[in-house]
A and B are shown apart, each in its own frame.
Chain A
Amino acid sequence: DTAVSQTPKYLVTQMGNDKSIKCEQNLGHDTMYWYKQDSKKFLKIMFSYNNKELIINETVPNRFSPKSPDKAHLNLHINSLELGDSAVYFCASSPSAGGAGSFFGQGTRLTVV
């Protein structure tokens, strides 16, 4: 069983479109995250939810809207996609807030054309 699973793995879309990425964890963790990895492989946190509550929002454009229907799921919706949004997006979870012991999903490679 995959601990942190995100879908889709690849997403190619045109500028201006709206798209969603889904994430689920079966580890019973309280905290989930979205990270963005750019072309230089730099990993930066975007959002963090603890028990469905938003606790971190790292100055991400408001075109990005996370939603956590329950503590096992954290989805990311992106409106009006731009070329600069092309990156790999990783979902992660950890037992508690702070990130220690985080498990990562396989990533979603988003390409905006």
Chain B
Amino acid sequence: GQQLNQSPQSMFIQEGEDVSMNCTSSSIFNTWLWYKQDPGEGPVLLIALYKAGELTSNGRLTAQFGITRKDSFLNISASIPSDVGIYFCAGQFVEGAQKLVFGQGTRLTINP
């Protein structure tokens, strides 16, 4: 089936460090989304990407829609304690599916 591979699965960093995570697929996407989930809450949309090559920022977050339309990355600069959580990529495949497929998530832990 159509799958997203998200990596890394977990990250342990020091406060102030930059973070990078990515998602890849063997299929072509027409939309990439990045979400963050805090404990006990639902996922919250961080950044939406709609065009190949698109680079979008939201504060300290930057995400790009890969040129091949099969990948996307999310960078977080100068991490702070409230960045802790699980980050999910999600995408809408080109072929027919009227739904989002989610990556496995990246659990971010920040050491003070």
Contacts and interface: CB of A to CB of B under 8 A. Distances in A.
Given A103-B45, A107-B41, A97 B98 contact: yes
Interface in A41-63: 41-45, 48, 50, 55-56, 58
B87 to A, nearest CB: 11
Label chain B's interface by main secondary structure.
strand
Contacts of A43: 43, 88, 90, 102, 105
Nearest to B100: A99
Given A98-B31, A101-B33, 20 more contacts: A41-B107, A43-B43, A43-B88, A45-B101, A48-B98, A55-B98, A56-B99, A58-B99, A90-B43, A98-B98, A99-B31, A99-B98, A99-B99, A100-B92, A102-B33, A102-B100, A104-B42, A104-B43, A104-B44, A106-B41
Interface of A: 4, 33, 40-45, 48, 50, 55-56, 58, 90, 92, 97-107
